[in-house]
């Protein structure tokens, strides 16, 4: 089983049998985060790149990936591709990195603060996705409608919404309820999500995780 927890904003921790991956450790983190690999979607934004809080089990520094490319670390295969934030900000999209990685037989994608539908090239790079970590709050990224369009493009088995309004960013981002209204569902928040390949659903499901950051 792979365990997934939400650390707030756009940050998740994915814990497999032999490796732990953290994406976008948030500046709001108040305690150390244990991980072997860190993926940064926007290395120039501290809200997505608090690497000082991340350490390996032995206290050493994790392997940090902060740009496009293909990587293999500790049995985890990772592909980073170029994306852009919403074009409304600063008159144009800001470059970010979106990721696909394979861990314990499951394919994950994290789209950072992607600001538009995926191109055909991006879809091909990401491939078949089991678990999609997707921004839904608008302003810097796609809004709920845009998020639904990306879900239709990738057809993942599980969607984990992120990058939505919280008490720290409620004036800038849309609330999670706006996305849930768009998909027409009410979903109970879970503290942790555990999944294995043989337990993936046949049709796309949305899971909402409690902020444990």
The model's pLDDT over 26-78, given as tens digits with 9 standing for 90+, comes to 887 778 899 999 999 988 777 778 888 899 999 999 999 999 999 999 999 99
Cα–Cα distances in Å, from 199 out to 14, 21, 64, 158?
17, 21, 30, 11
The model's pLDDT over 197-207, given as tens digits with 9 standing for 90+, comes to 999 999 999 99
What is the value of pTM for the model shown? 0.94
Segment 134-154 mean pLDDT: 95
Q: Specify the pLDDT at position 1.
A: 93
Tell me the C-alpha distance between 172 and 120, whole Å: 30
Q: How confident is the model at residue 157 (pLDDT cuts 50, 70, 90)?
A: very high
Phi, psi of 193 (to 5 degrees): -120, 125
Percent of the chain surpassing pLDDT 70? 94
Task: Tell me if 39 sits within 8 A of 13, measured CB to CB.
Answer: no
Q: Specify the pLDDT at position 148.
A: 97
CATH code of 2-209, in short, is 3.60.15.10
Segment 176-194 mean pLDDT: 93
Segment 164-188 mean pLDDT: 85
- Using H for helix, E for strand and C for coil, what is the string for the chain? CEEEEEEECCEEEEECCCCEEEECCCCCCCCCEECCEEECCCCCCHHHCCHHHEECCCCCCCEEECCCEEEEECCEEEEEEEEECCCCHHHCCCEEEEEEEEECCEEEEECCCCCCCCCHHHHHHHCCCCEEEEECCCCCCCCHHHHHHHHHHHCCCEEEEECCCCCCCCCCCCCHHHHHHHHCCCCCEECCEEECHHHCCCCCEECEECECC
Q: Specify the pLDDT at position 169.
A: 60
Tell me the C-alpha distance between 64 and 51, whole Å: 8
Domain boundaries, the chain: 2-209
Q: How confident is the model at residue 166 (pLDDT cuts 50, 70, 90)?
A: confident
Q: Specify the pLDDT at position 170.
A: 59
Tell me the C-alpha distance between 108 and 146, whole Å: 19
Q: Specify the pLDDT at position 92.
A: 57
Q: Specify the pLDDT at position 112.
A: 95
How many of the other CB atoms lie within 10 Å of CB of 118? 20
Segment 127-138 mean pLDDT: 96
Residue 90 pLDDT exceeds 80: no
Q: Specify the pLDDT at position 137.
A: 94
């Amino acid at each position: 089983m792979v365990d997934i927890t939400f650390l707030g904003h756009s940050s998740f921790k994915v814990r497999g049998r032999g490796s732990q991956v953290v994406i976008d450790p948030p500046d709001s983190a108040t305690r150390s985060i244990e991980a072997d690999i860190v993926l940064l979607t926007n290395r120039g934004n501290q809200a997505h790149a608090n690497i000082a809080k991340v350490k390996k089990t032995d206290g050493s520094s994790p392997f940090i990936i902060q740009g496009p490319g293909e990587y293999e670390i500790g049995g985890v295969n990772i592909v980073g591709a170029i994306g852009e934030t919403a074009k409304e900000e600063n008159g144009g999209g800001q470059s970010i990195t979106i990721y696909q990685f394979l861990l314990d037989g499951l394919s994950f994608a994290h789209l950072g603060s992607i600001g538009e539908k995926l191109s055909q090239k991006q879809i091909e790079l990401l491939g078949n996705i089991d678990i999609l970590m997707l921004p839904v709050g608008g302003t810097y990224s796609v809004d709920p409608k845009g998020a639904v369009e990306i879900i239709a493009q990738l057809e993942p088995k599980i969607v984990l919404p992120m990058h939505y309004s919280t008490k720290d960013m409620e004036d800038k981002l849309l609330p999670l309820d706006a996305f849930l209204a768009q998909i027409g569902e009410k979903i109970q928040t879970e503290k942790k999500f555990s999944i294995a390949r043989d337990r993936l659903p046949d049709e796309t499901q949305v899971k909402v995780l409690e902020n444990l950051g």
